[in-house]
Amino acid sequence: MKKRQLGGWWVRMWMVALVAAAVGGPASASELELRLSAERSELRLGERIEVRVALANLSGRELEVEVPDVANGSVRVFVAPDRGAFREYRGPHWGLEEGSRAVPLPPGEESSTTAVLLWNHRVPTEHLTALYADRTRQERIDEEVAIVAPGRYWLKALYTVDGERVESQPVALDVLAPEPVDAPIWERMRRDGELAYLLHTGRLHWPAGSAEADAFAADVRRLTAENPGSRYAVDIERLLASFEQAAC
């Protein structure tokens, strides 16, 4: 009788262990897959690049994962020209949000986030030594716009769990030159990150009603008046009006 009870105890413990293993726990990189997709595979310079990043559970158990998000820095995005090296892109406020939360991820399911690429948070290199400036430019995009020339590009995303990297497969993106009617506004956007920032976020870096914001708006409105047929002109006028109205 005693042996039978002992055997039953081991069976129960074994079943409890199996259930615990299936219920959940911290994830390892080998149990996860990062999937990146772009809303459009072809676009023109100056257009917003909208992407989706999904973290998938490939294991047979429920995992605890950090919510993938560009805001808290758990997801990073890289861009490379065709046959070129990947460099990190940083959008507005990416990686600046403090804290993250763990969520349960059942087997076979995904946790996803969306992001937009256009304005790039460029790291100033003018004050650095040549060595550090070159290293920064190799690691980070050195323009205030994510992509500044037509061609084929590749995007990839990176997620880190316990120091291990989980990378997505690269996704191809074909970027065309702007239409002739859009070219003047695109050239201003390429040279003036503030215009790219407006089209990306609907805001300016200056407070609405400030001298800087008013001067910028007046200058840009002259540009849109000179190029009324550009699709960017309509968006710029709408975004400026919304930004200014929000401060009233």
Positions of the chain with pLDDT under 50:
1-3, 6, 9-22
CATH 2.60.40.10 in the chain, residue ranges: 24-177
Please tell me the distance from the alpha carbon of residue 241 to that of residue 237, in angstroms, as a whole number. 6
Residues 122-135 pLDDT 10s: 877 666 677 766 77
Determine which helix (DSSP H) or strand (DSSP E) holds 214, and give its type and residue range.
Answer: helix 211-226
Give DSSP secondary structure letters for 109-169: -EEEEEEEESB--PPP-TTS-HHHHHHHHHHB--SSBS--S-EEEEEEEEEEETTEEEEPP
pLDDT of residue 31: 95
Place of tokens 């047929």: 229
pLDDT digits (tens, 9 = 90+) for 190-230: 999 999 999 999 999 999 999 999 999 999 999 999 999 99
Report the pLDDT value the prediction gives residue 5, as an integer from 0 to 100.
53
Q: Following CA atoms 71, 201, 89, 118 in sequence, which dihedral angle do they give, to the nearest 10 degrees?
A: 150
Q: Give this prediction's pTM.
A: 0.85
Give me the residues paired with residue 111 across strands.
55
**What are the CA-CA distances from residue 86 to residues 12, 115, 157, 208 (Å)?**
52, 18, 11, 36
CATH level 3 topology of 24-177: Immunoglobulin-like (2.60.40)
